[in-house]
Amino acid sequence: MKVVSTPDNLQILHEDNHLIVINKRVGDLVQGDQTGDIPLSDIIKLYLKKKYNKPGEAYLGVVHRLDRPTSGIVVFAKTSKALTRLNESFKNRETKKTYWAVVKDAPPKVEDTLEHFLVRNPKNNTSKAHNKEVSNSKKAKLTYRLFHQLKTYSALEIDLRTGRHHQIRCQLAAVGCPIKGDLKYGADRSNPDGGIHLHARSLTFTHPVTKEILTIVAPTPEDVIWNEISK
């Protein structure tokens, strides 16, 4: 049964006076959009208001996002100072993001670096990967390694070198390895929960105030495949 995030069941990975890090569930919308669904940012505000007995609305800044069908680490700022500094850190690629993906077919190599030029199509909310630079394209780069082999699926660990729209989904599909459940990029069928098997597994970044180096690891969602990989 799909679990919906509420102020009472948030999967909090780290919280201090300046930031809060959440393990996002499949289906959680990080920030409000045209659907009108309640975003995770509003749910966290309600959690903070209740926890700290705030008379007005709690402050919360969205630092970065994950696609709705994706799970894993999302960082939010609890102060404007933290938001400004975190935004700068993420913009300058001073973070290390590692993802796990379950793909249909094993990639051509056990480990490799993929470079493509992506063109975003806002009409259908997809990106297309090209091997050479084309008009309106942005360079995308990631490295992967195959770390677990299942009967019909392969598990990849991915280090993101650039931050493009649907980058991992698009680049893996381009080399014949669509992510499990990702109909938009070539998967055979959807997952029961409507999500895809892409998980923001770990994030290393500098704390915006204390300057401590933080490494956060997010447990994978509960399902047969993720449980097998996480053993």
* Contact call for residues 7 and 66 (beta carbons, < 8 A): no
Q: Which is catalytic among the residues 28, 33, 42, 67?
A: 67
> 51: Cβ–Cβ under 8 A, 6 or more apart, which residues?
none
The SS3 call for residue 48 is: helix
Q: Is 42 a catalytic residue?
A: no
Question: Which residue type is seen at 175?
Answer: V
Q: Per DSSP, which regions of the chain are E strands? A: 12-15, 19-24, 61-62, 71-77, 96-103, 111-121, 126-130, 138-149, 154-160, 198-206, 213-217
* Contact call for residues 90 and 41 (beta carbons, < 8 A): no
Residues with a catalytic annotation lie at: 67
